């Protein structure tokens, strides 16, 4: 277990940001951390990055306890905050050399490492540019370059794609995929759920400081799928069709959306012939019948209530 | 009733009345500040502090200035007059400190809060925005002035103080606040202001106040037609341009010439020379009005961003390093990256680099000019006079160095906090000890070239005298070395003071204001208190002087101050040199120990303070 939290609780005065959080992340896992704003994602990441101490409970990174063995943890992690920490009057190479020096990488080794990460993140042509003059996308790439300097085991990324344009987002995602393939353990919080679904091996959903779910993507989708939801489109008289379908056995509820009807069925089924039969029997013309797809977004909406601490 | 009807019937008048109403009393920017700020606990404490200082000065002065039981009416009036004089000077000093503090925030406030674009997208007119911003900044200062009025009125009870004098004193203080505020607002509206500008703003005001005041003491600026005082000093023509010089005239400490005596000058010059306090108020208010009007043209200048306008070209010329591409050749990073960042990248910032060159250049130039005068014996420059000037030059240079050090140190951690870069640094293996040591080392490296200027100045004079071997020397070689070591220790002290506020505060502006404020007050009080002790201690004073920076500079460079006659001084030179060396060694050790224990305690509390601040974001 590379990351483990036991009853992790963090309070800011009366506000409970984390409430007895239990989290286990395996070596090499790419963990997507999702939740509404103010749910406790940043607090968790900050605790794991040794920037905050828990009010009570315990957090372990690579077996070391946060707060007691923070010095041992720091060389093992790479932290990318949600805001880029720009040093004014520093150029890209200086910025990377500054942090390489902070990780005690010196002499020729430092030059080699800095050149390597510049190449990996495709920033060679920007090496003499002032850091605060870079675009948001470039700054974020530089942040990733920075955390790679000391080859950490764990990457803690707090919304690395926020505020980026589509191209920069895709580039960062590809970079993270490469890092995942290199065997790094990645903890990434984000609001761009479909990207997390593509990148992460496990997902954790947090709300009001409590972990609502933690598991693989398939598990979360299965959990979110309670019963069966299907979408039905008829050519006309949608209101009457809704009344008709409400009477069909096995239909729990019918809701009218813009241009289609959403039916919630009892239990899991893939047999929609009773629905089709009822409609045809009452002379409704069917345009389509399809099962509603459950993705990470719908799972997130179903599992959370949109509440914040 | 009739006028009301007229106003109703005249739409132009109604529109003007409404415009004026929304310009000042109902100005939304002002109203927000009046409602919000007046309830702030911090402001209540500041008001309490301001009034306490004034009240203490007045009470002590009244008790010691012949107002005791049995004193004659004449004595009472004289005592009240002296009390009023002291209170007025204190009020103006406080105003010169508080007005920049309260108005400087305007320079970056809108930019920091990112509210400026919202503000200019409302239907508020340019005049409303400028006047509202100015008055909201001046509101607190004016409230302070008014709160102190009853204290001044008490001095009238004994006679000797007139309503006119009180009004003139208040008018000078208020006009000073208004011009300071207008200047800050103009800088803010022209949008050349950054956080560094705030420091330059303070420095500019401080340098103007000190340099013009000293120039006012220079006989070449004296007005020949003005009656001399008992020391033979006369009023300077600079009185109408400086609040303290104008106040000196308002308090009758120096006499202005009669208007008939200066009738041969032009009309405006006549008034400037005959009525300096009034003209100071008129001049500052006129300048303020011009600045306000100028600011109005810049309020919505942002809509023309990117256009090739005159001001754009001018500004791009001023920002010479950033012109064109935003790249530069990288520096070599030191083994201690924190020290490297403090000493190299922050020091290489355009304005800071320029400031350093200016301080070094002006300091060396001043010393060389003085050496020229001394070497030639021009203008009657004896060794004694040269010592006095040299002490003054070194004191001014070191004063500037201390303020630069305090400002740089105070912004060192807060800037990292504001840019979120401290969080990143804290996730690296760098320990709190390493970070603070790095900051301190970098800051001292940044300050050492500046300290080298006064030390070099002293060395030049010491070497000159060693070669020439005159009967009375200006300074001895060990004095330069003693001063050098002491200045490094005092600079380290100041850096620790700045770092302390930088650690405790979240915002750069507040940290800088607190650090510079504490530095000025501590040095002023320390100098006044310790100087009284050293001058009374005779030979021992040379040893005691090293306790505070400015007594050290004054007494070690010019120990003749400790003796009543030059003969006494000349006969005790050897004893003074030994006494100074012993004192210097002891105090350097003591100060270094204090700096080290301060550093240790800061290292100890670093993590806790930073963590606490993270939790209160």
Q: Are B366 and B394 in contact (CB under 8 A)?
A: no
Instruction: Enumerate long-range contacts of A39-42, CB under 8 Å, 24 or more apart.
Output: A39/A206, A39/A207, A39/A208, A39/A209, A39/A308, A39/A309, A40/A10, A40/A206, A40/A208, A40/A209, A40/A309, A41/A158, A41/A189, A41/A206, A42/A82, A42/A158, A42/A189
On whether any CB of chain B is under 8 Å from the CB of A84, the answer is yes
On whether any CB of chain B is under 8 Å from the CB of A94, the answer is yes
Burial of A39 (0-12, 13-18, 19+ CB in 10 A): buried
Pairing between β-strand A3-12 and β-strand A251-257 as defined by DSSP bridges:
unpaired
Residues of chain B with pLDDT under 50: 1-5, 7, 320-324, 350, 616-617
For A89, name the nearest residue in chain B, comparing CA atoms only: B345
SS3 per-residue string spanning B136-179: HHHHHHHHHHHHHHHHHHHHHHHCCCCHHHHHHHHHHHHHHHHH
pLDDT of residue B290: 95
Which of B429, B430, B434, B612 has the highest number of chain A CBs within 10 A, making it the mutation to test binding with A?
Answer: B429
Q: Find chain A residues with C-beta within 8 A of B430's C-beta.
A: 102
Strands (E) across chain A are located at 3-12, 15-25, 30-34, 56-61, 64-65, 77-80, 154-158, 185-189, 202-207, 210-216, 228-234, 251-257, 260-265, 286-291
Q: Find chain A residues with C-beta within 8 A of B419's C-beta.
A: 85-88
Q: How far does A69 lie from chain B, in Å, by closest CA?
A: 11
On whether any CB of chain A is under 8 Å from the CB of B429, the answer is yes
CB spacing of B333 vs A101 below 8 angstroms: yes
For A118-174, the DSSP string reads: HHHTT-GGGTTBBGGGS-HHHHHHHHHHHHHTT--SEEEEESTTTT--HHHHHHHHH
Three-state secondary-structure class, residue A104? coil
pLDDT of residue B381: 75
Spatial distance between the Cα atoms of B81 and B123, rounded to a whole number of angstroms: 51
Q: Find chain B residues with C-beta within 8 A of A79's C-beta.
A: 423-424, 427
Q: Find chain B residues with C-beta within 8 A of A84's C-beta.
A: 420
CB spacing of A87 vs B345 below 8 angstroms: yes
Q: How far does B352 lie from chain A, in Å, by closest CA?
A: 12
Burial of B588 (0-12, 13-18, 19+ CB in 10 A): middle
**Which residues, other chains included, contact B262 with Cβ-Cβ below 8 Å and sequence gap of 6+?**
B223, B225, B269, B270, B273, B274
Q: Find chain A residues with C-beta within 8 A of B336's C-beta.
A: 101
Whether residue A161 is predicted with pLDDT greater than 90 in this model: the reply is no
Q: Comparing C-alpha atoms, which of A110, A118, A48 is closest to residue A80?
A: A48
Q: Find chain A residues with C-beta within 8 A of B423's C-beta.
A: 46, 49, 51, 79, 81, 85
CB-side neighbour CA atoms (13 Å) of B361 = 6
Q: How far does A255 lie from chain B, in Å, by closest CA?
A: 42
User: Burial letters for A98-113: b for 16+ Cβ neighbours within 10 Å, e otherwise?
Assistant: bbbbbbebeeeebeeb
Q: Are B88 and B251 in contact (CB under 8 A)?
A: yes
Q: Find chain B residues with C-beta within 8 A of A130's C-beta.
A: 326-328
pLDDT tens profile B381-415? 788 888 888 898 899 889 888 988 898 899 888 88
On whether any CB of chain A is under 8 Å from the CB of B380, the answer is no
Q: Are B162 and B198 in contact (CB under 8 A)?
A: no
Pairing between β-strand A15-25 and β-strand A3-12 as defined by DSSP bridges:
antiparallel
On whether any CB of chain B is under 8 Å from the CB of A79, the answer is yes
Query: Which residue in the set B349, B428, B611 is minimally distant from A89, CB to CB?
Result: B349
Q: Find chain B residues with C-beta within 8 A of A78's C-beta.
A: 427
Q: Are B191 and B147 in contact (CB under 8 A)?
A: no
For A12, name the nearest residue in chain B, comparing CA atoms only: B615
Query: Which residue in the set B330, B419, B423 is minimally distant from A93, CB to CB?
Result: B330
Q: Find chain B residues with C-beta within 8 A of A51's C-beta.
A: 423, 426-427, 611, 614
Q: How far does B407 lie from chain A, in Å, by closest CA?
A: 17
Q: Comparing C-alpha atoms, which of B191, B8, B57 is closest to residue B111?
A: B191
Give the number of other Cβ atoms within 10 Å of residue B524's Cβ. Answer: 12
Q: How far does B95 lie from chain A, in Å, by closest CA?
A: 34
Query: Which residue in the set A74, A88, A97 is minimally distant from B333, CB to CB?
Result: A97
CB spacing of A97 vs B422 below 8 angstroms: no
On whether any CB of chain B is under 8 Å from the CB of A77, the answer is yes
Whether residue A109 is predicted with pLDDT greater than 70 in this model: the reply is yes
For B341, name the nearest residue in chain A, comparing CA atoms only: A98
CB spacing of B331 vs A94 below 8 angstroms: yes
Interface of B with A in 316-345 (CB under 8 A): 326-331, 333-338, 340-341, 345
Query: Which residue in the set B328, B346, B427 is minimally distant from A49, CB to CB?
Result: B427
Average pLDDT, chain A: 88
pLDDT confidence of A115, banded at 50, 70, 90?
A: very high
Helices B383-418 & B432-468 angle (0-180, nearest 10)? 160
User: Burial letters for A273-284: b for 16+ Cβ neighbours within 10 Å, e otherwise?
Assistant: eebeebbeeeeb
On whether any CB of chain B is under 8 Å from the CB of A108, the answer is no
Q: Are B131 and B49 in contact (CB under 8 A)?
A: no
Q: Are B136 and B33 in contact (CB under 8 A)?
A: yes
CB spacing of A75 vs B429 below 8 angstroms: yes
Residue B555 phi/psi, 5-degree rounding, is -80, -40
Q: Comparing C-alpha atoms, which of B544, B493, B482 is closest to residue B523?
A: B493
């Amino acid at each position: 277990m590379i990351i483990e939290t036991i009853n992790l609780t963090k309070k800011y005065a009366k506000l409970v940001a984390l409430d007895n959080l239990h989290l286990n992340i395996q070596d090499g896992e790419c963990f997507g951390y999702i939740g509404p704003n103010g749910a406790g994602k940043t607090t968790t990441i900050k605790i794991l990055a040794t920037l905050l101490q828990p009010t009570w409970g315990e957090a372990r990174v690579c077996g070391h306890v946060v707060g007691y063995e923070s010095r041992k943890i720091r060389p093992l992690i790479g932290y990318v905050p949600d805001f880029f920490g720009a040093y004014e009057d520093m150029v890209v190479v200086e910025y990377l050399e500054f942090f390489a020096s902070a990780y005690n990488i010196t002499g020729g080794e430092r030059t080699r490492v800095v050149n390597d990460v510049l190449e990996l993140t495709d920033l060679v042509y920007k090496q003499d540019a002032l850091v605060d003059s870079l675009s948001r996308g470039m700054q974020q790439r530089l942040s990733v370059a920075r955390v790679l300097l000391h080859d950490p085991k764990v990457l803690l990324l707090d919304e690395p794609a926020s505020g980026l344009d589509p191209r920069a987002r895709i580039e960062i995602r590809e970079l993270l995929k490469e890092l995942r393939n290199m065997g790094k353990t990645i903890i990434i919080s984000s609001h761009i759920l479909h990207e997390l679904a593509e990148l992460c091996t496990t997902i954790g959903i947090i709300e009001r400081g409590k972990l609502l779910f933690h598991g693989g993507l398939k598990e979360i989708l299965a959990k979110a799928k309670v019963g069966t939801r299907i979408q039905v489109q008829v050519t006309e008289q949608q209101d009457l069709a809704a009344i008709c379908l409400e009477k069909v056995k096995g239909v729990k509820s019918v809701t009218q959306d813009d241009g289609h009807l959403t039916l919630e069925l009892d239990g899991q089924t893939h047999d929609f012939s009773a629905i089709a039969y009822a409609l045809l029997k009452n002379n409704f013309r069917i345009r389509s019948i399809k099962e509603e797809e459950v993705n990470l977004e719908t799972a997130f909406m179903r599992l959370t209530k949109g509440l914040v601490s | 009733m009739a006028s009301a009807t007229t106003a109703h019937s005249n739409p132009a008048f109604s529109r003007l009345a409404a415009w004026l109403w929304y310009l000042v009393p109902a100005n939304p920017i002002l109203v927000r500040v009046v409602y919000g700020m007046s309830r702030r606990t911090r402001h209540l404490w500041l008001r309490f502090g301001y009034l306490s200082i004034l009240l203490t000065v007045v009470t002590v002065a009244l008790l010691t200035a012949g107002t005791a039981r049995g004193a004659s009416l004449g004595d009472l009036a004289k005592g009240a007059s002296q009390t009023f004089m002291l209170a007025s000077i204190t009020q103006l000093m406080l105003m010169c400190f508080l007005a920049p503090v309260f108005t400087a925030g305007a320079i970056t406030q809108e930019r920091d809060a990112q509210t400026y674009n919202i503000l200019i997208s409302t239907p508020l007119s340019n005049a409303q925005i400028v006047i509202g911003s100015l008055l909201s900044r001046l509101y607190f200062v004016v409230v302070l002035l008014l709160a102190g009025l009853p204290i001044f009125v008490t001095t009238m009870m004994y006679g000797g103080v007139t309503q006119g004098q009180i009004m003139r004193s208040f008018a000078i203080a208020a006009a000073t606040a208004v011009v300071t505020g207008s200047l800050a607002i103009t800088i803010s509206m022209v949008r050349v202001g950054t956080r560094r500008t705030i420091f330059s703003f303070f420095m500019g005001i401080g340098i103007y106040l000190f340099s013009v005041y000293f120039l006012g003491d220079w006989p070449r600026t004296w007005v020949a037609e003005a009656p001399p005082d008992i020391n033979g000093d006369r009023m300077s023509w600079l009185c109408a341009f400086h609040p303290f010089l104008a106040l000196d005239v308002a308090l009758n400490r120096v006499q202005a010439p009669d208007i008939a005596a200066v009738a041969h000058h032009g009309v405006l010059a006549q008034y400037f020379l005959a009525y300096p306090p009034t003209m100071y108020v008129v001049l500052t208010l006129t300048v303020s009005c011009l600045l306000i009007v100028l600011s109005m043209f810049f309020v919505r200048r942002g809509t023309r961003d990117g256009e090739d306008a005159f001001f754009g070209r001018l500004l791009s010329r001023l920002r010479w390093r950033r012109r064109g591409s935003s790249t530069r050749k990288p520096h070599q990073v030191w083994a201690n990256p924190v020290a490297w960042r403090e000493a190299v990248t922050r020091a290489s910032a355009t304005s800071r680099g320029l400031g350093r060159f200016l301080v070094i250049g002006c300091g060396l130039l001043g010393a060389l000019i003085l050496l020229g005068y001394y070497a030639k014996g021009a203008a009657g420059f004896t060794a004694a006079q040269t010592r006095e000037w040299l002490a003054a030059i070194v004191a001014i240079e070191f004063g500037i160095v201390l303020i630069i050090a305090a400002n740089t140190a105070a912004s060192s951690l807060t800037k990292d906090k504001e840019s979120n870069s401290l969080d990143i640094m804290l996730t690296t293996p760098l320990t709190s000890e390493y970070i603070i040591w790095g900051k301190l080392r970098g800051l001292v490296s940044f300050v050492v070239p500046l300290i080298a200027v006064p030390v070099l100045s002293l060395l030049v004079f010491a070497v000159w005298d060693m070669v020439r071997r005159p009967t009375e020397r200006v300074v001895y070689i060990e004095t330069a070395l003693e001063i050098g070591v002491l200045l490094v220790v005092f600079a380290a002290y100041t850096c620790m003071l700045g770092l302390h506020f930088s650690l405790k505060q979240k915002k750069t502006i507040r940290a800088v204001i607190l650090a510079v404020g504490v530095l000025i007050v501590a040095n002023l009080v320390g100098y006044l208190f310790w100087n009284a002790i050293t001058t009374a201690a005779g030979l021992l004073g040379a040893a005691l002087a090293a306790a505070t920076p400015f007594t050290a500079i004054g007494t070690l460079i010019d120990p003749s101050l400790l003796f009543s006659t030059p003969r006494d001084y000349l006969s005790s030179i050897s004893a003074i040199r030994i006494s100074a060396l012993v004192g210097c060694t002891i105090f350097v050790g003591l100060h270094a120990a204090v700096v080290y224990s301060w550093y240790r305690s800061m290292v100890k509390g670093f993590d806790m303070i930073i963590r606490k601040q993270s939790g209160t974001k």
